Structure 1
Amino acid sequence: MDNRWQLVQPKMMRMKTEATATHGRSTSGGGGEPAAREWELRPGGMLVQKRNPDSDRISIPPPTIRVRVKHSSIYHEIHINSQATFGELKKMLTGPTGLHHQDQKLLYKDKERDSKAFMDMAGVKDKSKIVLIEDPISQEKRLLEMRKNAKMEKIVLI
C-alpha cells in the first residue's frame, strides 16, 4: 500500500500544476496570460506565486523639501530632494551665492557636513536652516591648482 501512494503522489502534483496553468488566469488584467508564468514549484514541493524583484521597490519619488541657507546676512530658500547629498546642495548654491562648490562649508546643527553625506540621514527636514560659510583654505588650494595647470598648458604650447 505504501508503494501505491508514492506512485499516486507525483501524478497528483502534476495534475495540480497543469490545472493551475490552464485554469488560473492572471489577476493583473495583462491580456489574460496563463498563471503558469506566475507560479513556481519550490524544492519542498510547495507551489508559490513568483515574486517580481521590482515589486519591493516603491516608485514614488522622495518628497521635495524647502531648506533655508544662510550665507553672511542673506537667506536663500532652496527646494531640493529630501534624499540629496550636501554636495548636491552646494552645487545648487553656486548660482545664488557666487561661490564655487569646493569653496563652501555647510553647517547643520553646528556641525560641518561632508559633501557625500545624505541630508535625510543627517536629519534635515522641510524648513530646516543650514549655514553656509566660505572655506578660504580650499579656495587657495583651488587657485594654486588653477595656476599650476595654466603654467603646464603654457609649457605645452611653447
Structure 2
Amino acid sequence: MMRKRSNHSRAPPPPPPADWEVLPGGMLVQKRLGGISPDAAPPVPAIRLRIKHGLAHHEIYLSSQSTFGEVKKILWEKTGLHPQEQRILFKEKERDSSAYLDTAGVKDGSRMVVEEDLTARAKRLLEMRRVSQAERVAKSLAAVAVDVDGLVSKVSEMETAVGAGMSVAEKDVVELIELLMAQLVKLDAIAVEEGEAKRKRGIQVRRVQRNVEKLDQIKLKNSEPMHSSSPYLQKQQQRQQVVVTTKWEMFDAVAAPGMAASTVPAGSRIEWQLL
C-alpha cells in the first residue's frame, strides 16, 4: 500500500544555548568569558608594593599584571632615579623591566629593593652628551650652509656680469673671497665624527673651494683690459713688443764693437799711437 508523503518540512535545529556560540566552520563551542562582555569583566586587582631605596621606604599601588618597567616609572617620581638607572631586586634577584609582576610571583604586600645602577647611569650620560653634540653640530652646519648659499648667489651674479662684458670692482671680489674663506674657517672648527655630519661638512667645504676658484678667475679676467680683444690693438701691442726687442738688439749691436775693441792686444794699440 502506498503511503502519502507529508508536506511538512523537517523542523530546524534548536538554537544553541546562551553560553555557547557557533564558529564559522559550524563547530559549537562555549562562549569565551561565559557570555560576559569584556567591559563587564572583573577588574584586575591592584596590589601594594613596599619598596626600599637606601634608608627610605616607599609604597606604591598598581595592577598585578604590570611589568617591573612600570614600577620603575612610578619610582622615578619618588626617588628621582631615571628608569634606565634603576636595578629592582625581588627575592634577591634582579628583575628585567619587561618581566610581569604576577609571573615573577609578586603579590599584595611584596617587598622590593631599588638600587642605582652606576654603569647604566654613565652610559646614559654619555649617550645624552653624544646626542647633544650631534645637535650642536647639525645647527652649526645649517647656519654655515645658509651663509654659503648667500655668498654663492653673489658669486653667480659676478660671473653673469663678467660674462656680459661688464667690469666689477676688485675690492668687491676680494671681499667676497675673504667672506668665503671665513666660512671655510668655521667649517674647519666644527668637530664631526664619521657619518652624516662629516659628509655634510665635506659638501660645504667643496662648495666654498669651488666658488673661491671662480672668484680667482673673475679677478683674473677683470684685470685684463676690456678692449684687449680688438684686432687693431692686438697688432699695436705686438709692434710695441717688437720695438722693445729691437731696442735690446740695437743695444747689443752697439756694445759689440766696444767688446771687440777690448779684445785687441795692447801692443797693437801702442803701434797705432806711434803712427
Same fold (TM > 0.5) = yes
Secondary structure in 2 aligned to 1:122? coil
How much has 1:74 moved relative to structure 2?
A: 0.6
- CA distance in structure 2 between the partners assigned to 1:62 and 1:155 by the alignment: 49
CA RMSD of aligned residues (A): 3.4
- CA distance in structure 2 between the partners assigned to 1:41 and 1:72 by the alignment: 59
- CA distance in structure 1 between the partners assigned to 2:71 and 2:97 by the alignment: 9
Structure 2: 5+ residue stretches without partners: 141-275
**Equivalence for 1:97:** 79
Matched, 1:61 2:47: no
- CA distance in structure 2 between the partners assigned to 1:128 and 1:154 by the alignment: 46
Q: Give the aligned residue type for 2:114.
A: L
Deviations 1:27-68 (A, max 9, x none): 7xxxxxxxxxx778986xx9x5x7545647672121000000
Pair 1:41–1:115, CA change in 2 (3 A): closer
Pair 1:108–1:42, CA change in 2 (3 A): closer
Normalising to structure 2: TM-score of the pair? 0.42
- In terms of fraction of residues, the more strand-rich structure is 1
Normalising to structure 1: TM-score of the pair? 0.70
**Equivalence for 1:133:** 115
Matched, 1:142 2:124: yes
Report how many residues are paired: 131
Deviations 1:57-99 (A, max 9, x none): 6721210000000000111000011110000000010001000
Pair 1:154–1:127, CA change in 2 (3 A): same
Which has the higher Rg, Structure 1 or Structure 2?
2
**Equivalence for 2:66:** 84
Q: Give the aligned residue type for 2:107.
A: K
Answer 1 or 2: higher relative contact order, Cα 8 Å, separation at least 6: 1
Matched, 1:16 2:12: yes
Identity, in percent, stands at 42
- CA distance in structure 2 between the partners assigned to 1:107 and 1:86 by the alignment: 10
